[in-house]
Structure 1
Amino acid sequence: MNNLNPLFALIIFLIACFTTYLINLKYKISHTSSRFESVDGLRGFLAISVFISHSSTWYRYIQKEQWSNDYNLYSQLASISVAFFFMISSFLFVSKLLDSREKGFNWKKFFISRFFRLVPMYYLSVFLIIFFVMIISDWKLKVGLFEFLHEMFLWGTFTIIHGSSINGCDFTYVINAGVVWSLPFEWLFYFSLPLISLLILKNKPPIFYLLISIFFIGSYFYLHTFQVQHILSFAGGALAAILTKYKFAKSVEKPFFSAVILVCLLLIGQLEESAKMQCKLLITIIFILVSSGNTLFGILKSPILKLLGEISYSTYLLHGIVLFAVFYFGFGLENAKKLTPLQYCLTVFLITPIVVILSFIGYRFIEKPFMEISKKYF
């Protein structure tokens, strides 16, 4: 077995599910009720898929110092999963706008809840990145103090302005597997919602939020290039929300539509780039079916996948840090390079429960408490 074998992905997934099953037995987690049960299950599958993709990519990085992958399954798995995450965000919040069409939308509560949902866990991950960078740097500044503080500022703003290495460390990107790239797009979507709501809500948002929305969008695209493939992902989620709200997609629970999802997944695996329009179309078809209630032969209703979905944000932020800690600090990159493909796979299998457990800890002691604070006081 090697890191490009599909069995590598399957075993990681099964280990993650078994670990989650044991956690659920021990702590008797009561899952958050949701009318989008299949979407909750999908989120858990996606989080592990990103971990699987980066676990495979790490082997090439160790061997050739290249952050890339030769096999479509693993090279696309992370980017396709993030596209689905974008669709989920768009689907959930456009659905909320549609549900609030008559009664109005609480914008203050929305932005405060997003802050408490995303910021605390993200700052913990950034702290760990800085901590590792300083260890690698022997606790010495390799750049000027003001430049270092500027780097801290950029990371503190989710790298929305632009990304940066920390203290001149070449490993900054790979410490967390580069996952921070997607978070500015999430914030772009959130700040776009007041403008989007003009097409949906009868009670239009206050001018204050519209001005903030215009300012953020204008600033974002002044600093960044327009990447249509990610906009299409959010558009696909919005389309799914409309179709689900007005029940245009009916009776999708039938096995036939589960088979359609599998066919779409197989076709996606044949494409070389996830940014291709054909890939976006296939992803959108899959998501519309799932968001409309298809459970993929019942798999997405699994309590295990739902729990993996609840801890998915911590999984997304922490899995790369765990991989880096094991291979850089645990083995040392030179020693890790000597691992046979089988030894590497076995190492990742042993890492998998650690990732799931740390993600659960992050969710239970950081994510959930701060979410409760936002609900209680705001």
Structure 2
Amino acid sequence: MLLLFESVVFFGILLISVAVMSKALNVEIVNHKYQALDGLRGICAGLVAIFHIFWRAGGADDTFWSISYLGGHEIKRAVLMMGEVSVGIFFMLSGFLFFKKALNNTFDVKKFFISRALRIYPPVFISLIIIFVISAIINHGKITTSPYWFYQALPFINEYKGSVVNGLPINITNSGVFWTLVWEVRLYIAIPLLFLLMKIIPFKKSFITLLIISVIALSKFYFIDKSHAAFITYFLVGFLVATTEDKKIKYANVIAFIVLMAALFLTRQAYSPTTALYLLPFFYLVKNQANLFGILTSYPIKVIGISSFSIYLLHGIM
């Protein structure tokens, strides 16, 4: 119960802070068909931030990055689920939104890459500069980092190794969020290829379903790392939902709540290829305007959603 109480308090503080700042800055939210997805992104961003707060409460022996202090297997599992399922849903959201673009005949590859680069890298650059300044202050003004640290810290398509900035590992200073951007960049590279592929494939749902089955099968026989297969499956589930038609579903909120609870009950590891399948019905319902009784379309939650990338990059530094 204490864990639940602390999580609610942390999320409440985030909610109030973002809502007050947004009102002060007169932030306007553009209404669109998939508003509940913005809210879902906001919930996930908040849960990832809370997840990392629990990790940061580790002791000095493990560089303040551990949940071993939490008593009981189920409590640790709950904390892991809080962050890792949220990251998985982030991947589903990206898969859905960008595969939607790949299904559009007006898709422009050049504009897509430019928009993605401008979306990802300027905020990353700013976060790295903040990390450099703060780590230098902590290091009593001493600059002890490699001249290549900035390049090493940037997320590209290769497996993310990170960097050490003025004596502090970057995966500690920013809560290790850059590895997920590597998978986002990989998705961006795949989208133009999928755009070309979708032009010649008539049965898109069947094709994506076959890909999901193939990835899960390959992971079962250890041809693909299990966690990598999980990330790919999250993207593919987003693709699959993108191929479905929009429809109004009766009792969508009640059904969405039930299938979400069932998915969380069934999940033993968030980074397992089958977990995305458990979450598929819930994601499909949210795409079709299930808003969990108004929670996902409330102003503060949607504001967190549109601010989610900044929150994601900066919460670890703060």
The two structures have a TM-score, normalised by structure 2, of: 0.81
Letter in 1 for 2:90: F
Tell me if 1:285 matches 2:303: no
Task: State which drifts further: 252-261 or 292-301.
Answer: 252-261
Q: Does 1:275 align with 2:271?
A: yes
CA shift for structure 1 position 278: 4.2
2:83 to 78, 81, 91: 78
In structure 1, C-alpha distance between the alignment counterparts of 2:157 and 2:130, rounded to whole Å? 16
For the structure 1 residues 67 and 300, does the alpha-carbon distance in structure 2 shift closer, same or farther, using more than 3 Å as the test? Answer: same
Match of 1:52 among 46, 50, 53: 50
1:211 aligned residue = none
Look up the SS of the partner of 1:290 in the other structure: helix
Question: Amino acid of the residue matched to residue 301 of structure 1?
Answer: T
Decide whether the 8 Å contact of 1:253 with 1:295 is kept in 2. no
Over the matched positions of the two proteins, sequence identity in percent amounts to 28
Corresponding position of 1:107: 109
CA apart distance, 1:272: 4.0
Query: Displacement of 1:261 after TM fit?
Result: 3.7
Q: How does 1:1-378 map to 2 (within 5 A)?
A: 5-62=3-60, 65=63, 67-69=65-67, 70=70, 71-98=76-103, 100-101=104-105, 104-140=106-142, 142=144, 148-158=146-156, 160=158, 162-167=160-165, 169-201=167-199, 227-243=228-244, 246-247=245-246, 250-251=248-249, 254-264=252-262, 266-267=264-265, 271-322=267-318
What is the Cα deviation at residue 126 of structure 1? 1.0
Measure, in 2, the Cα distance between the counterparts of 1:21 and 1:82. 23
Q: Distance in 1 between matches of 2:193 and 2:306?
A: 29
Aligned to 2:204: none
Structure 1 11/181 Cα, relative in aligned 2: closer, same or farther at 3 Å? same
Q: Indicate conservation of the 8 Å contact 1:154/1:160, yes or no.
A: no
Is the 2:234–2:276 contact (alpha carbons within 8 Å) kept by the matching residues of 1? yes
Contact 1:166 1:172 in 2 (8 A): yes
The answer to whether the 8 A contact 1:94-1:241 is kept is yes
Sort the Cα spacing of 1:167 and 1:29 in 2 relative to 1 into closer, same or farther, 3 A.
closer
Higher helix residue share:
1
Residues 43-82 of structure 1 show CA distances to partners (whole Å, capped at 9, x for unaligned) of 1111110111011111124575463324212122222111
- Structure number with larger C-alpha Rg: 1
Shift of 1:168: 7.0
Give the 3 Å change call, closer, same or farther, for CA 242–62 of structure 1 in structure 2.
Answer: farther
Alignment correspondent of 1:327: none
Given that 2:136 and 2:166 are in contact with CA atoms closer than 8 Å, whether structure 1 keeps it comes out as no
Post-superposition CA distance 1:236-262 (Å, at most 9, x none): 11011112xx34x65155343133244
Using a 3 Å threshold, how does the CA distance of structure 1 residues 57 and 111 change in structure 2: closer, same or farther? same
Aligned to 2:215: none
Is contact 1:253–1:293 with CA below 8 Å preserved after alignment?
A: no
Deviations 1:194-250 (A, max 9, x none): 111123237xxxxxxxxxxxxxxxxxxxxx97811110110011011112xx34x65
**CA 1:165/1:255 → structure 2, altered by over 3 Å: closer, same or farther?**
closer
Q: How many residues align?
A: 287
Structure 1 residues 272 and 58: alpha-carbon distance in aligned structure 2, compared to 1, 3 A threshold:
farther
TM-aligned CA distance change 1:53 to 1:140, over 3 Å: same
**Aligned-partner SS, 1:89:** helix
Write the distance in 1 (CA, Å) between the matches of 2:109 and 2:87: 26
The Cα of 1:130 is off from its aligned counterpart by 2.1
1:158–1:180 CA contact under 8 A, matched in 2: no
Q: Is the 8 A contact 2:144 2:165 kept in 1?
A: yes
Q: How far is the alpha carbon of 1:304 from its aligned partner?
A: 1.2
Question: What residue identity is the alignment partner of 1:82?
Answer: V
Does the CA contact (< 8 Å) of 1:133 and 1:172 recur in 2? no
Shift in Å at residue 35 of structure 1? 1.4
C-alpha distance in 2, partners of 1:85/1:252?
A: 26
What is the TM-score with the length of structure 1 in the denominator?
0.69
- 2:150, 2:242 → 1: CA distance? 37
